[in-house]
Copies of this chain bind each other. A is one copy, B any other.
Amino acid sequence: MSQTTAKRPLTTLQKNVKKQVIVRLKNEVEYKGKMSNVDSYMNLIMTEAEEHHDGKVIGKFARAILRGNNVLFIKLEDEI
């Protein structure tokens, strides 16, 4: 990897701890909130998060642990 200055995916994920993200799980539900922490398996702590499906808010929670194996992708909200 010496030929590139880009960060590895898990390093980039760590650098976004405490930032807003949108996590989509394999069941197509999305979680929008703060990624309080994450580990190399992509287990996540989400705080002050909304649960979205088909464009609608279907739930809210103060804090939850998402199990990494269910993650499809994590959008980094650079703009937020």
Contacts and interface: CB of A to CB of B under 8 A. Distances in A.
Interface in A58-73: 61-73
Contacts of A75: 61-64
Which range contains the number of A residues in contact with the other chain? 35 or more
A28, A65, A75, most chain B CB atoms within 10 A: A65
Interface SS of chain A: mixed
Contacts of A73: 64-67, 70
Given A8-B37, A62-B77, 13 more contacts: A7-B45, A9-B38, A9-B44, A26-B70, A42-B67, A62-B76, A62-B78, A64-B75, A66-B72, A66-B73, A67-B71, A67-B73, A67-B74
